[in-house]
């Protein structure tokens, strides 16, 4: 089935994973049965509870984040399209690389969440030594975690590619572009 089969298998696996998560939530009584869909149905004007003026602060926060997510999605889509133009091997190598990038880029998320939680109240209080200390601690953590994540990403791409693909030419492509991928992953921190 080739690339189309891989896409179909990925879609099926994602849908199955979603159903298993919903089942687990149901077993733990976080949702009652399958009727919870009613609560999350798209809003109609009668069901829209928030006034437009109340949505302003949410949109002020979510708007820039949505723009960032859409820009990244567009970038990844264009990269995948470009890789596909070079053939199946290049596309397979791209898929290995992007999977490694996404996996190791998530190591920056705890630092990001910590910074987003701790820094704004300190800025609102006027900054000072507490803000400088927090920023110094975050920078130190990033400087320590960065090389570790870079080494793990390098090992994953150089040594782990054969676990995902058995074509020697594709593995060689992954290894050839491992350094730029590791550099990009480290920049995510």
The rounded distance, in Å, linking the Cα atoms of 21 and 29 is 12
Rg (CA), the chain: 22
Q: What is the pLDDT of residue 39?
A: 59
Q: Are 92 and 167 in contact (CB under 8 A)?
A: yes
Give the model confidence (pLDDT) of 33-92 as tens digits.
656 555 555 555 554 455 667 667 777 777 777 888 899 889 888 988 998 999 989 998
Reported for 84-92, long-range contacts at CB under 8 A and 24+ positions apart, including other chains, are 88/2, 88/3, 89/167, 89/169, 89/170, 89/173, 90/173, 91/3, 92/165, 92/167, 92/170
Give the model confidence (pLDDT) of 133-172 as tens digits.
988 998 898 888 888 888 888 888 888 888 888 899 999 9
Residue 95 has pLDDT above 80, yes or no: yes
The residue among 136, 141, 143 whose CA lies nearest residue 186 is: 143
Q: What is the pLDDT of residue 126?
A: 81
Indicate the DSSP class of residue 28: T
pTM over 0.75, yes/no: no
Q: What is the pLDDT of residue 56?
A: 74
Q: What is the pLDDT of residue 33?
A: 61
Three-class DSSP category at 152: helix
| Cα 108 to chain centroid, rounded | 10
């Amino acid at each position: 089935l080739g690339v189309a089969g891989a896409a179909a298998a990925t879609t099926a696996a994602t849908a199955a994973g979603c159903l298993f998560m919903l089942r687990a939530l149901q077993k733990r009584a976080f949702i009652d049965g399958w009727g919870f869909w009613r609560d999350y149905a798209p809003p109609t004007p009668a069901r829209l509870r928030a006034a437009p003026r109340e949505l302003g602060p949410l949109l002020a926060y979510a708007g820039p984040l949505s723009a960032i997510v859409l820009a990244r999605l567009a970038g990844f889509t264009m990269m995948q399209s470009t890789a596909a133009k070079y053939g199946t091997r290049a596309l397979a190598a791209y898929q290995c690389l992007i999977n490694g990038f996404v996996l190791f880029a998530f190591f920056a998320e705890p630092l990001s969440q910590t910074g987003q939680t701790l820094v704004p109240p300190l800025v609102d209080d006027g900054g000072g030594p507490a803000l400088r200390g927090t920023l110094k601690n975050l920078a130190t953590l990033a400087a320590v975690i960065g090389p570790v994540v870079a080494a793990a990403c390098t090992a994953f791409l150089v040594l782990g590619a054969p676990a995902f693909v058995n074509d020697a030419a594709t593995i060689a492509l992954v290894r050839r572009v491992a350094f730029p991928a590791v550099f990009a992953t480290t920049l995510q921190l």
